[in-house]
Amino acid sequence: MTWQTLRTDLATQGYIAGDDLAMALHLAGSLERPLLLEGEAGVGKTELAKTLATLKSTQLIRLQCYEGLDASHALYEWNYQRQLLAIRAAAEEGVTGRETEDRIFSEDYLIARPLLQALQQDAPPVLLIDEIDRADEEFEAYLLEILSDFQVTIPELGTIAAKTRPHVILTANGTRDLSDALRRRCLYAYLDYPDRTTELAILAARHPGLEAHLCGQIVGFVQALRREDLEKKPGIAEMLDFAAALAGMGLNDLTDDPVALQKSLVTLLKTQRDRAAVPAEVAARLAGKAA
Amino acid sequence: MGRVRFATRADGPAERMTGFIAHLRLNGFVAGVDETAKAMDALGRLDVTDLAASRLALKTLLSGCREDWVRFDEVFDSYWSSGGRVRHETARQSRAGPDSRTTRRSLDLPGLSDQSGSPDMADNGTGEADGDGTGRLMASDIKALARRDLREFVSPEDIALAEAAAEQIANAIRDRHARRYRTGKGPVLDLRRTIRDSVRTSGEPIRLHRRHKPDRPAQLVALCDVSGSMTVYARVFLAFIKGLMSSAKTTDAYLFHTRLVRITDALRDRDTLRAVNRLSLMADGFGGGTRIGANLDVFNRLYAKRLVSGRSVVMILSDGYDTDPPERIAAALKALGRRGCRILWLNPLKGWKGYEPVARGMAAALPHLDHFAAANTLQCLEDLAPQLRRL
């Protein structure tokens, strides 16, 4: 498969990727290396992983990172309750300590968390490590072993190697700096807000029913809004919500009904300050320009 | 770093690729032997006669952060098609120091596309301030005082003294909300260890192991005023900030006068003299007027969103004399406070007898501060530590 066919395949699933992104994803697949995606919130980083999973008809295993995430939530944990019961039962049956230990530290008593699950699959899954920059630096270091060797060492059990190599996608949006060590192990792609043509294609793929005229207006309006000084710029997901809202209200032209337009802005502007920064007149002006 | 041989003069693809990697390195990319091998491997899987595809493939393989990503095409062209120019103007100085850094900044920071610390203009948020005739005149008057060498402000002895004070402070401001557990004394049972141990006592968990959440250093952000009125204190404060940086590696530092400059990377340089030289390069406007409110706005807009969180302590070192309206300081501090950080203001004037925070900017700022302290001598800074423990 070449990178061009990958791009076409993604498009049939409703994901419009640029040349550079398609190439990055293609190489990540053929070199079997993780892909690090950076970019603003709402440019389709997470969506790419979901689409890839659909495309390969494989499982998507998602690890959402957060501050304080540690191995017992990301990798594996022993099932303590079962272990306790087993030890008690063993003591009553008079089984030796050695046997008990062998039994309770076997895979039956292991709870696999996302990273371990990804290594245990028969068919290569898509492993999405979302917002890696939210996790602590310690966790990032821990991840290095897994990403370079695709194996996990459990002291009581030994080393578990991956049955198949998962397609790993990491996303980050700059909450903190990632280490060079992690960056060097990954392929890299930066996702920007799409240009007009791409965004129109995305809108057409996701809401095929909309008129071309309205589509042009929606995309023009959202792109103009991104140039305003906002705390949180509307992403692609917001744009799609906005389009759905307009379709739901039965609007055919943005400039028709300023009141309805203002109401539908709840789908685009997500903070009080941004709402105040785009009053009805500004919205009407932007809509007029977008037409 | 060796000489770059250009594509047309090298023979064989491997040598050309090695040359390209060397060319990237000269232009500030992090790339080595390993990358060369990977690049050859990747190109082997593609149609190498397709220039566009090769470019895309090398771009994703060899870029490591956003700046690399944006600059790649230009660097690629200059090696493979021009055979002439080597180094681009945008080559980053900060990568030149071999030991100066372990992580790369990849923030979306307009005005900082070049990491040697280009100043961010403090405008009124509309971008129109500099179009205003009087504003420009004012600014150039102030900058006439500029370009004073910072070397005379920081001596090695100051650094040694200030480092001791800074270390105490960095230790005092510890975050008590770490979320990861460590084995030790604490309220939560460490089941894994307890059960492992209970096998010895046939399932009777006799020895209980516990876990606790260790304290961890808070993220410090220091904003230092280096305007004319602060000149006499600048040496102490710069030394102090350098000390903070060396005792807590996550510390982030900024200078401001009429503009805001991020100096984190410059200060992280272990070679003090080089750090100071780099500072003086970027301290254009040092010793001029102050625009505290406007600079805090810039800080909020460009940096705070990403770098300030609930575990941050923002330290402002300033005398509070501001040429902006006081409401602006108040609004900026309020916005900053909403990020959940704690805000300290260290004011050298407060050490003076009978000082009242009458400067309008200072008075406006007071309600938004978590702590307001004197800072006219190193002794004052040392005395801060016990008070900060309570914060």
Contact at 8 Å (CB) between B266 and B117? yes
Residue A24: the pLDDT is: 93
Closest chain A residue by Cα to residue B56: A20
pLDDT digit string (tens) for A81-121? 888 888 888 878 877 778 888 888 888 899 999 999 999 99
Over its length of 391 residues, how does chain B's per-residue pLDDT go in tens digits?
Answer: 445 545 555 567 788 888 889 888 888 788 888 888 888 888 888 877 788 888 889 999 888 888 788 888 888 888 887 654 444 444 444 333 333 334 444 333 343 333 344 444 444 444 333 333 333 333 333 333 333 333 444 566 666 676 677 777 776 666 555 556 666 677 778 888 888 787 777 677 788 888 877 666 677 888 888 877 777 777 677 777 877 777 776 788 888 887 788 887 777 666 656 666 666 655 555 556 778 888 888 888 888 877 787 778 888 988 888 888 888 888 889 888 887 788 888 887 776 767 777 777 888 888 888 888 877 666 677 777 776 666 6
Residue A250 has pLDDT above 60, yes or no: yes
Strands A35-39, A167-172: pairing is parallel
Q: For position A124, what pLDDT does the model report?
A: 92
Query: Domain containing A157 — which CATH number?
Result: 3.40.50.300
- Under the banding of pLDDT at 50, 70 and 90, the label for residue A125 is very high
Provide the pLDDT for residue A219. Answer: 93
For residue B189, the chain A residue with the least C-alpha distance is A80
How high is the pLDDT of residue A167?
Answer: 93
> Do B171 and B313 form a contact (C-beta atoms < 8 A)?
no
A141 vs A124: CA distance, rounded Å: 24
The whole-number average pLDDT for the span A35-52 is 90
Nearest to A23 among B30, B57, B178 (CB): B57
Domain that holds residue A264: 196-290
Q: Does A122 share its domain with A172?
A: yes
* pLDDT higher than 90, residue A129: yes
The reply to whether A84 and A40 lie within a common domain is: no
Q: A89 and A61 in one domain?
A: no
**A181 has pLDDT over 60:** yes
Residue to mutate among A7, A187, A272, A273, with most B CBs inside 10 A, is A187
pLDDT reported for residue A145: 78
Q: Which residues pair with B256 in a beta bridge?
A: B225, B260
> What total number of domains does chain A contain?
3
Q: Do A126 and A105 belong to one domain?
A: no
- Do A173 and A240 lie in one domain? The reply is no
> What pLDDT band is residue A218 in, cutting at 50, 70 and 90?
very high
> Residue A63: is its pLDDT beyond 50?
yes
pLDDT of residue B102: 40
B178·A68 Cβ contact <8 A: yes
List chain B domain ranges.
13-91, 120-171+216-388, 179-212
Within an 8 Å CB–CB cutoff, is residue B185 touching chain A?
A: no
Predicted confidence at residue B164, as pLDDT, reads: 72
Q: How far is B180 from chain A (nearest CA, A)?
A: 5
Q: In this predicted structure, what is the pLDDT of residue B274?
A: 65
pLDDT at A166 over 70: yes
**pLDDT at residue number B91:** 41
Counting every residue, how long is chain A? 291
Long-range contacts of A145-151 (CB under 8 A, 24+ apart): A146/A75, A146/A115, A146/A119, A147/A34, A147/A182, A147/A185, A147/A186, A148/A185, A150/A119, A151/A119
Instruction: Mark whether A187 and A149 lie in a shared domain.
Output: yes
CA dist A277 to A85, A232, A255, A290, B157, Å? 61, 12, 19, 18, 51
Neighbours of B99 (CB within 10 A): 9
Residue A136 and residue A107 share a domain: no
Q: For residue B76, which of B91, B49, B48, B56 has the smallest C-alpha distance?
A: B56
B46-85 residues touching A, CB cutoff 8 A = 46, 52-53, 56-57, 59-61, 63-66, 68-70
For chain B, what is the mean pLDDT? 70
Show which of A59, A88, A111 is a domain's final residue. A111
Domain boundary (A191, A210, A244) is at A191
pLDDT at A64: 93
Residues 6+ apart with CB under 8 A from A201: A11, A16
Which residues in chain A have their CB less than 8 angstroms from residue B66's CB?
38, 190
Average pLDDT score over chain A: 87
Q: Would you tell me which residues 242-271 of chain B have a C-beta closer than 8 angstroms to some C-beta of chain A? A: none
Q: Are strands B252-256 and B259-262 parallel, antiparallel or unpaired?
A: antiparallel
> Is A82 found in the same domain as A58?
no
Q: Please tell me whether residues A104 and A238 are part of one structural domain.
A: no
Q: Which of A1, A2, A27 to mutate to test binding with chain B, by most B CBs within 10 Å of its CB?
A: A27
CATH 3.40.50.410 fits B120-171+216-388, yes or no: yes
Burial class (CB in 10 A: 0-12, 13-18, 19+), A101: middle
Q: Is the pLDDT of residue A15 over 70?
A: yes
Whether the model pTM is above 0.90? no
For residue A284, pLDDT over 70 is answered with yes
